[in-house]
Amino acid sequence: MLLAVCLGGCLPSAEDLQAVDYTPILGEDWATSTPEAQGLDPMLVATLYYNAARLDTIHSLLVIKDGRLIAEDYFHEGAIERKDRIQSVTKSVTGMLVGIAIDQGLLAGTSEKMLDFFPETAGQITDPRKMQITIRELLEMRSGYPSEESHEDLWAGLLSGHYVPLIEAFPLTADPGTRFQYSNLSSNWLGIIVSRESGMTLKSFAQEHLFGPLGIAPGEWGTDAEGHNNGCGDLHLTARDMAKFGQLILDGGLWNGEEIVPESWIGQSLETISEQARDNVGSLRQIGYGYQWWSATAGAHRVDFAWGHGGQVIALVDALDLVVVTTADPFWLENSGRSWRNESAQLRLVGDFVASLP
């Protein structure tokens, strides 16, 4: 099976690599270049695309170096205009919207208590520890709420679409601030907080303060039963739009000379708070977590990345001024060995490429 063979990286011949075409599509949204012109070995890039073409569920793969699109290709049903469901990459967008809201004075800061924004449920709280949960702990996935994937009842609650009542209904499985636990609800509550304090839907707030300045026209962004855009997922973007968002973060929040996100917020977001938050995946080692962003090492390089189910990835290598984007079948509502094998293949593809770079 090709997928199994290529997980660690295939060994193509020189002729195979010379036949690989990853020339970017010309367009007005990205300046283009070549690997050679930006100081990358074209054979390493060709190997990346050779291996990508052998994955079963990948949709797109883009490489941006020094702010220029140097490699691009689409696979299976992928296409330049396709807006993929980027799954939990949405969390990294939500995290940046929290920072923008703080910068605008809509939120006083990360030390504000979660329950201050949910007065309708604050009087129902039976676990006093919940009164101490802060915005910072929601961002860090250290609120004490469990991963919804750990029990079928928790997963059913997440799928119910009624998220505010779950602040009380879901139990804490750790004291706030003590343990990393991947909580989708934490991101949803963050999104609701920004929406309530801005008086806008999360999508409208993002369009005005993030997507609009970047020239991004987002697609669908799924909502809960009350109409709030889901902070944890369901946003649809093209691969090129994901790359714009990645380049913005890599450039410290600046786009065409305009500050979109405060540089200090990006620094906080990318700081590794939880070490070894997940097991290694291929060349991605020491996987940690900050504010809705993952971090890892790959060979000699640090990688900061947004990561969504199925293999949606925005990987940033600051030392190389490099962005790598993948989209793939999102395996919507499927948590299975099959979905993880394919998701892992995309992560390995990116990690192995970064590790191969000098």
* Structural domain contains residue 71: yes
| Domain assignment of residue 134, yes or no | yes
Task: Please indicate, yes or no, whether residues 73 and 157 belong to a single structural domain of this protein.
Answer: no
- Round to whole Å and give the CA distance between 291 and 280: 20
Q: Where in the sequence is the domain holding 134, given as residue range(s)?
A: 90-198
169 located within any domain? yes
Q: What's the predicted TM-score (pTM) here?
A: 0.95
Q: Please indicate, yes or no, whether residues 74 and 116 belong to a single structural domain of this protein.
A: no
**Cα→Cα distances 68→27, 91, 168, 298, 322, Å:** 12, 25, 48, 22, 9
Same-domain check for residues 185 and 140: yes
Residue 214 lies in a domain: no
What confidence score (pLDDT) does residue 149 get? Answer: 87
Look over the chain and give the mean of its residue pLDDT values, rounded to a whole number.
Answer: 95
d(CA 263, CA 298): 24
At which of 170, 198, 226 does a domain end? 198
The answer on pLDDT for 210 being more than 90 is: yes
Instruction: Please check whether residue 223 is in contact with residue 229, taking contact to mean a CB–CB distance below 8 angstroms.
Output: yes
Buried b (16+ CB within 10 A) or exposed e, 220-237: ebbebeeebbbbbbbbbb
Task: Among 198, 223, 243, identify where a domain stops.
Answer: 198
Please state, in angstroms and rounded to a whole number, the distance separating the CA atoms of residues 223 and 231: 9
The reply to whether 136 and 56 lie within a common domain is: no
* Nearest Cα residue to 140 out of 105, 103, 193, 98: 98
N-to-C CA span, the chain: 30
How confident is the model over 186-196, as a mean pLDDT?
A: 98
Give the span between the Cα atoms of 257 and 206, in whole angstroms: 19
pLDDT surpassing 60 at residue 140: yes
Q: Tell me: do 11 and 111 sit in the same domain.
A: no
Q: Are residues 180 and 105 in the same domain?
A: yes
| Domain identity same for 31 and 8 | yes
Name the band, by pLDDT with cuts 50, 70 and 90, for residue 2: very low
> Dihedrals φ, ψ of 220, to 5°?
-60, 145
Same domain, 184 and 278: no
Tens-digit pLDDT profile for residues 309-354: 999 999 999 999 999 999 999 999 888 889 999 999 999 999 999 9
Q: Taking 90 as the threshold, does the pLDDT of residue 114 lie above it?
A: yes
Please say if the pLDDT value at position 3 is more than 50.
no
pLDDT of 288 reads 98
Beta pairing partners, 294: 289, 305
Same domain, yes or no: 94 and 157: yes
**Residue 247 is assigned to a structural domain of this protein:** no
What are the tens digits of pLDDT across the range 115-131?
Answer: 999 999 988 999 999 99
Domain membership of residue 236 (yes or no) is no
At 1 the pLDDT is 35
Pair (33, 124) in one structural domain:
no
Mean local confidence (pLDDT), 243-256: 98
- Total count of domains within the chain: 2
Residue 253: the pLDDT is 98
Indicate the residue among 146, 166, 198 that finishes a domain: 198
* 39 domain-assigned: yes
Residues 58, 15: one domain?
A: yes
Sorted by sequence, the CB contacts under 8 Å of residue 176 that are 6+ apart come out as 129, 130, 132, 133, 134, 137, 142, 143, 144
pLDDT in the model for residue 10: 54
Quick one: pLDDT at residue 6?
47
- The reply to whether 257 falls in a domain is no
Residues 114 and 164 in one domain: yes
pLDDT band at 150 (very low <50, low <70, confident <90, very high): confident
